[in-house]
Amino acid sequence: MTLQNERVLIIMDGLYIGGTETHVLAIAKEMIKQGVHVVIVGKTGPLHRSFLSLGCPIYPIECKVEGSVSSDIWEETKNILREIMKWEKITVVHGHQTTSARFAFPVARELGIPFVFTVHGTYESLENLRDIAENGGTIISVSQPIQHWLMQQNISSTLIPNGINLKQYRPLQKTNLLKKMRIPLHAPVVLYAARLSWEKAKICKQVIQACCYLRKRYFPSLHLIIAGKGFHDGEIKKMIEKVQGKSKYKFIHFLGEYTMMSSLYSISNCVVGTGRVALEAMACSRLVVSAGRHGFFGTLYPNNLQQAWYYYFGDHNSIQPCTSSLLAKNIKTVLSTSKRQRLIWGRQNRLFIKENFGIEQVTKTLLNTYASLIPPSP
| Residues 86 and 184 occupy one common structural domain | no
Tens digits of residue pLDDT in 153-176:
999 999 999 999 999 999 998 778
308 and 364 part of one domain = no
216 domain-assigned: yes
Answer whether residue 151 is part of any domain: yes
Neighbours of 33 (CB within 10 A): 12
pLDDT digits (tens, 9 = 90+) for 259-271: 899 999 999 999 9
Same-domain pairing of 134 and 233: no
| Co-location of 133 and 214 in the same domain | no
Shared-domain flag, residues 326 and 365: no
Q: Phi then psi for 195, rounded to 5 degrees?
A: -75, 120
- Give a yes or no: residue 169 inside a domain: no
Do residues 347 and 368 both lie within one domain?
Answer: no
Q: Are residues 111 and 237 in the same domain?
A: no
* DSSP string for residues in 88-147: TT-SEEEESSHHHHHHHHHHHHHHT--EEEEE--TTS-HHHHHHHHHTT-EEEESSHHHH
Residue 211 falls inside a structural domain = yes
Rounded distance, CA 40 to CA 165, Å? 19
How many CB atoms are closer than 10 A to CB 189? Answer: 23
The CATH number of the domain holding residue 194 is 3.40.50.2000
Checking DSSP bridges between strand 223-227 and strand 252-256, what pairing results, if any? parallel
Instruction: Give the span between the Cα atoms of 259 and 274, in whole angstroms.
Output: 17
If asked whether residues 250 and 121 sit together in one domain, one would say no
Output the pLDDT for position 212: 96
Q: Is 378 within a domain?
A: no
Q: Are 203 and 275 in contact (CB under 8 A)?
A: no
The answer to whether position 170 is within a domain reads no
CA triplet 203, 207, 212: central angle to 5 degrees?
A: 150
pTM for the full predicted model: 0.93
Whether 154 is in a domain gets the answer yes
317 and 272 assigned to the same domain: yes
Q: How many structural domains is the chain composed of? A: 2
Residue 8 lies in a domain: yes
> Residue 246: which domain range?
175-357
- The pLDDT of residue 2 is 60
Query: Tens place of pLDDT for every residue, the chain, 378 residues?
Result: 566 679 999 999 999 988 999 999 999 999 999 999 999 999 999 999 999 999 999 999 988 776 666 788 889 999 999 999 999 999 999 999 999 999 999 999 999 999 999 999 988 989 999 999 999 999 999 999 999 999 999 999 999 999 999 999 999 987 789 999 999 999 999 999 999 999 999 999 999 999 999 999 999 999 999 999 999 999 999 999 999 987 778 999 999 999 899 999 999 999 999 999 999 999 999 999 999 999 999 999 999 999 999 999 988 889 899 999 999 999 999 999 999 999 999 999 999 999 999 999 999 999 999 999 987 665
- Residues 215 and 262 occupy one common structural domain: yes
Q: Are residues 59 and 141 in the same domain?
A: yes
Per-residue b or e along 84-114, where b marks 16 or more CB atoms closer than 10 Å to that residue's CB? bbeebebbbbbbbbbbbbbbbbbbbbeeebb
CA atoms of 86 and 347, how far apart (whole Å)? 47
Residues 323 and 362 grouped into a single domain:
no
Strands of the 288-291 sheet, one edge to the other: 252-256, 223-227, 189-193, 270-273, 288-291, 296-299
